[in-house]
Amino acid sequence: GVQRNEAPKAVLHPLWQSPLTIPGGTRQSPINIQWRDSVYDPFLKPLKISYDPTTCLHIWNNGYSFLVEFDDSTDKSIIVGGPLENQYRLKQFHFHWGAINDWGSEHTVDSKFYPAELHLVHWNAVDYPSFEDAVMEGNGLAVIGVFLKLGARHEGLQTLVDALPAVRHKDTVIEFDEFDPSCLIPSCPDYWTYAGSLTTPPLTESVTWIIKKKPIEVDEDQLEAFRTLLFTSDGEEERRMVDNFRPLQPLMNRTVRSSFQ
Ligand SMILES: CCOC(=O)CCc1ccc(S(N)(=O)=O)cc1
Ligand SMILES: [Zn+2]
């Protein structure tokens, strides 16, 4: 009979039903950061962070994570400096975490997982008219990654944790104002930076990653509060929102630079 050549079936991610690997992807995220392979770049500037807490809008559960979204219609909450050519506007922040404390972060350092990772998502409003446009451009986004480790209770995070029961189900939202996310960023200025991608659909290769070297400390109850969230909508069979991190991606032809020696 006639031999029909079947195209190889893409392996789909169990959660995102999107291809695990992007065909032709050369700068995918997350990656393992091998400390000794990172290259100190003396020309990297300190990252300047200036957020206006009144730009905070709401918290919502989008079925992948919980996001705190900001009014990005002005330059009130921005970052500038670091590896960035110009300033970027804060759009939202969210987290990735595990079912247990042994894993949960997206990036790893010397193959070590942290129990969770915070992403503060910014977009290049100098070159592009909207976040949606910036998502498609190589220099469109800048995401600050902050590792969470088990330790002392984080008072700033607690205001967020207290609001989580109100967004337990997918597509629920509550108003949230006067929150300054810089309280979630370590004061130590040291970071790694590399060219990468979004770690959830559309997985576009548009992110300048800025990964803080120092983690913040949160306590067990605060991590457990993340794990009470659901991937599912009200009325659906409940699936706990845990392990919402993407598998590590190949480094390929990239160098991770460090702002410190
Ligand atoms: C315009 C549609 O595109 C989006 O909404 C992208 C949202 C989105 C923002 C940040 C990330 S992460 N985990 O790489 O920081 C993933 C997805
Ligand atoms: Zn993320």
pTM of the model: 0.95
For the stretch 114-133, pLDDT in tens is 999 999 999 999 999 999 99
pLDDT value, residue 14: 74
CA distances from 201 to 17, 75, 124, 138 (A): 9, 26, 19, 16
Ligand number, closest to the Cα atom of 29: 1
pLDDT of residue 131: 98
Q: Whose CA is nearest to atom 11 of ligand 1?
A: 198
Atom of ligand 1 nearest to the CA of 197: 14
Atom of ligand 1 nearest to the CA of 145: 15
What number does the ligand 1 atom closest to the CA of 132 have? Answer: 1
Q: What is the pLDDT of residue 3?
A: 67
Extract the tokens encoding 110: 């010397």
Assess contact for 133 and 140: CB atoms under 8 A: yes
DSSP assignment of 183-208, as one string? GGS-S---EEEEEE--SSTT--S-EE
Q: How far is the CA of 211 from the centre of ligand 2 (A)?
A: 12
The ligand minimizing its distance to the Cα of 198 is: 1
Q: Could you tell me the distance, in angstroms and rounded to a whole number, from the CA of residue 84 to the centre of ligand 1? A: 19
Q: In the predicted model, what is the mean pLDDT of the chain?
A: 95
* Rounded CA separation 231/169 (Å): 7
Is this complex scored with an ipTM above 0.95? yes
pLDDT tens column, 66-112: 999 999 999 999 999 999 999 999 999 999 999 999 999 999 999 99
Non-local (6+) Cβ contacts of 140 within 8 A are: 123, 124, 127, 128, 133, 134, 204, 206, 207
Cα 43 to Cα 40, 62, 96, 143, 254: the distances in Å are 9, 38, 31, 20, 18
Q: Give yes or no for a contact between 128 and 193, defined as CB atoms under 8 angstroms apart.
A: no
Question: Which residue's CA lies nearest to atom 14 of ligand 1?
Answer: 198
Which residues in the chain show pLDDT less than 50?
A: none
| pLDDT value of position 4 | 72
Atom of ligand 1 nearest to the CA of 131: 1
How far is residue 109's CA from residue 30's CA, in Å, rounded to a whole number? 11
Closest residue (by CA) to atom 2 of ligand 1? 132
Ligand with the closest atom to the CA of 141: 1
How much is the pLDDT for 18?
A: 65
Q: Name residues contacting ligand 1 (CB within 6 A).
A: 119, 121, 132, 135, 143, 198-200, 202
